[in-house]
Structure 1
Amino acid sequence: MNSSVSALPLSTLSPANESLTLRLPSSLQLKQQLPLTHALTQQVAAHRQAVRAILDGHDSRLLVIVGPCSIHDPESALEYAGNLARLAADVSEDMLLVMRAYVEKPRTTVGWKGLAYDPHLDGSDDMAAGLTLSRDLMREMLQLGLPVATELLQPMAAGYFDDLLSWVAIGARTTESQIHREMASGLSMPVGFKNGTDGGVTVASDAMRSAAHPHRHFGVDSQGHPAIIQTPGNADTHLVLRGGHHGPNYDRASIAKVHADLTKLKIPARIMVDCSHANSGKDPLRQPAVFNDVLEQRLHGDRSLIGMMIESHLFEGCQPLGSPLKYGVSVTDGCLGWSSTEALLRRAADQLRAQRTSQ
């Protein structure tokens, strides 16, 4: 892994009771150091178009965003990606599998914020190394032939990865943010807005309507300068249901209500279900039950259910940060293990194939 880009010299050293400022390389500098080949650029464009085709109903495959809750160890992440790439090739006629490469994590209070922030897992917050490591890792995943997805949490970080991504999530806590809606309106890939933590879809519906429109907003250009950003609007957005404080929202009654709400607002009914979080009661081993329920709804004719999201790693469960860490086990939310994930997706592909060939 290439991690030679470091923070630029200290620009401001303030008294102890004030903030400290350390300059980072610009997104342009990092992209120039770790560029995409023409072939990979074309691959990303093709994957983005494939996701759009699923959203628009022109591609009947199921979209599945799958991978670790967060990536903390590049070696285990690449092993997982290799497994997923082989499975993706086997089920490609019925599913589009997208690697979940989350390098930023929202925190309710404090805690580890992700690989892009603290790649050494020790609180040193070497963000220059984190951005470099994250970009290099995503490039290696692309080289395996996988589409890559992430949640964009810090808009300033988006420019370091935006050319690598085929799908982006805006999380439950940031869907209401005007800044994230403006950012989404300028992204060149499909974006899934999660419902709010209350379980309702009003906030996400407002976000999709906002992101579809052009915006002018404050931002940072590729060279790191403050700039006025003008965006064209993003028509390729959709809803991600993740449950809420009152429980799951993937059941038939909840989906029917979401349909009615979206129709009333004249928003296309394009729904992905996050099988984790409140939908699974935060129990990673309940994700297959959620997945299978949603799959059954789709097999019975609800084509608005365009996809699912699964938190999955090499081994199930989670562990606290510390030493020594178990290889291939999440350090944030608990995950489904790879063997269970593979079995779940292969069974689903068989069911989808059977329905496709019988029609």
Structure 2
Amino acid sequence: MERIHNMGYKNIRKIMDADEIIKLLPLPEELRKIKEKRDEEIRNVFNGTSDKFIVIIGPCSADNEEAVCEYVSRLGKLQEKVKDKLIIIPRIYTNKPRTTGEGYKGMLHQPDPEKEPNISDGILAIRKMHIHALEISGLTAADEMLYPDNLAYMEDLISYHAVGARSVENQQHRLTSSCLDLPVGMKNPTSGDLSVMFNAIQAAQSGHNFIYRSNEVQSTGNPYAHAILRGYVNRHGENMPNYHYEDLELAIDFYEKRGFENPALIVDTNHSNSRKRYYEQTRIAKEILYSRKYNTKLKKVIKGLLIESYLLPGCQEISEHMEFGKSITDPCLGWEESEELINYIAENI
């Protein structure tokens, strides 16, 4: 029987299977061992056996391999200096959610921001960039789980996954997170409703039977699923923070009422928490560190910070004359401020 299509799309090109991509760009054995060690160190923070503090830091979007690798190489040198106190996880976000669907959607969609989208080339580009970044810095990275199916192309490279504010209610994101044995941060939704975020955490920590990449699978549940506070948007469309002392206490109350083991919280210093004023991230980070010092329960549960930072401060439009290492999406802290902030965090945790 002929299949009837009533869909408004056309096929552009066939994307290679994940096995083919990985065979084409394999992770060298020496880098695989580095990742194994890093994964264990990061897991230990979330299961409570390590008291190191996590700093997930990097550009809003990883749009240029050369600039990203320059940035990450600097982080690698800084990690050596603060290794007794901090675990630095480069933020190499290659998929960008867009509120209206318009604009630059990340390197996976558009490996060259000045050219047409090409997802096949994008998958190869982001895999190559992650391997290169690990090779020159010794640091495995964080990325956003915007499209759960894409994990198959990158799962041997990523040490930390984030589920964004617009994806946290999505069933496939929650169930896919339950398959992983690595930290997955669930952001509160843009509405600010913490119960949505904690429902997502509960779902991710539980085992499920579901469809994943054309297979029926059974997940075991992910004990490292946790909360990320990123601020919210009120009914007037205004950005509102949720990183203040009372907000942090409220998040812990949610954890205690749900009875989760090893509660963990990451605080995003940008987005609605900074009210889109990127330069406030330093002040916000310092306030969170003070709250941790003031309350031992907060110190135990708040495991780290999420910070947007690049080589140059601010942001720029996509053009023929872009500045090297400056964000083309949300504005970021520059390197000097970022280095100073990381050193401050190491001295004040």
- TM-score category (smaller protein): over 0.9
The amino acid of 2:269's aligned partner reads: C
Asked if residue 284 in structure 1 is aligned to residue 278 in structure 2, the reply is: yes
Aligned ranges for residues 26-45 of structure 1 at < 5 Å? 26-45=17-36
Question: Which whole-Å CA distance do the structure 2 matches of 1:322 and 1:217 have between them?
Answer: 43
Q: Does 1:273 align with 2:267?
A: yes
Give the alignment's TM-score, normalised by structure 1: 0.90
Quick one: which of 319, 326, 329 aligns to 1:329?
Answer: 326
Do the aligned residues in 2 keep the contact of 1:171 with 1:194 (CA within 8 Å)?
yes
String of CA shifts for 1:58-86, please: whole Å, max 9, x gaps.
11111110000001111110100111000
Partner of 1:141: 133
Q: How far does residue 124 in structure 1 lie from its aligned partner after superposition?
A: 1.6
Q: Which residue of 1 aligns with 2:252?
A: 259
Q: 1:320 maps to which residue?
A: 317
2:97 aligns to what? 106
SS in 2 for 1:273: strand
Compare 87-96 and 199-208 and name the one that shifted more.
199-208
Unaligned runs of 5+ in 2: 235-239
Conserved? CA contact 1:295–1:348, under 8 Å: yes
Q: Which residue of 1 is the match for residue 11 of structure 2?
A: 20
- 2:343 is matched with 346
What 5-or-longer segments of structure 1 have no aligned partner? 1-13, 221-225, 353-359
Give me the whole-angstrom Cα distance separating, in 2, the residues matched to 1:119 and 1:257: 41
Aligned to 2:237: none
Specify which of 311, 324, 339 is matched with residue 308 of structure 2.
Answer: 311
Q: Residue 122 of structure 2: which of 118, 127, 130 is its match?
A: 130
Partners of 2:345 and 2:149 lie apart in 1 by: 38
* 1:181–1:211 contact (8 Å) kept in structure 2: yes
TM-score normalised to structure 2 length: 0.92
Contact 1:185 1:215 in 2 (8 A): yes
One-letter code of the match for 1:342? E
Match of 1:72 in 2: 63
* Aligned-CA RMSD value: 1.6
Equivalent position SS for 1:218: strand
Given that 1:67 and 1:310 are in contact with CA atoms closer than 8 Å, whether structure 2 keeps it comes out as yes
Is the CA contact 1:162–1:187 (under 8 Å) kept in the aligned structure 2? no
Distance in 2 (CA, whole Å) between partners of 1:78 and 1:94 is 24
Residue of structure 1 equivalent to 2:110: 118
Counterpart among 149, 153, 157 of residue 164 in structure 1: 157
Residue 129 (structure 1) shift: 1.0
Give the counterpart letter for 2:164 in structure 1: G
Amino acid at match of 1:22: R
* CA drift at 1:18: 4.4
1:201-256 Cα distance to aligned partner (Å, 9 max, x none): 11110111111122222222xxxxx2223222111111000010141111111111
* Residues 97 and 147, structure 1, Cα contact 8 Å, conserved in 2: no
Q: Is contact 2:289–2:348 with CA below 8 Å preserved after alignment? A: no
Judged with a 3 Å threshold, the aligned counterparts in structure 2 of structure 1 residues 123 and 16 are, in CA distance, closer, same or farther, namely farther
* Selected match of 1:239 from 227, 247, 262: 227
Residues 135-165 of structure 1: CA distance to partner in whole angstroms, max 9, x if unpaired?
0110112112002110010122111111101
The 10-residue stretch of structure 1 (144-153 or 116-125) with the greater mean CA deviation from structure 2: 116-125
Q: Cα offset for 1:15?
A: 12
Distance 2:217 2:35 in 1: 24
Structure 1 residues 17 and 163, CA gap change in structure 2 (3 angstroms): closer
SS of residue in 2 equivalent to 1:192: strand
The answer to whether the Cα contact below 8 Å between 2:168 and 2:196 also exists between their aligned partners in 1 is yes
Instruction: Determine if contact 2:266/2:306 at 8 Å carries over to the other structure.
Output: yes
- From 37, 42, 53, the equivalent of 1:51 is 42
Q: Report the 3-state secondary structure (helix = DSSP H, G, I; strand = E; otherwise coil) of the residue aligned with 2:87.
A: strand
1:266, distance to aligned residue in structure 2 (A) = 1.1
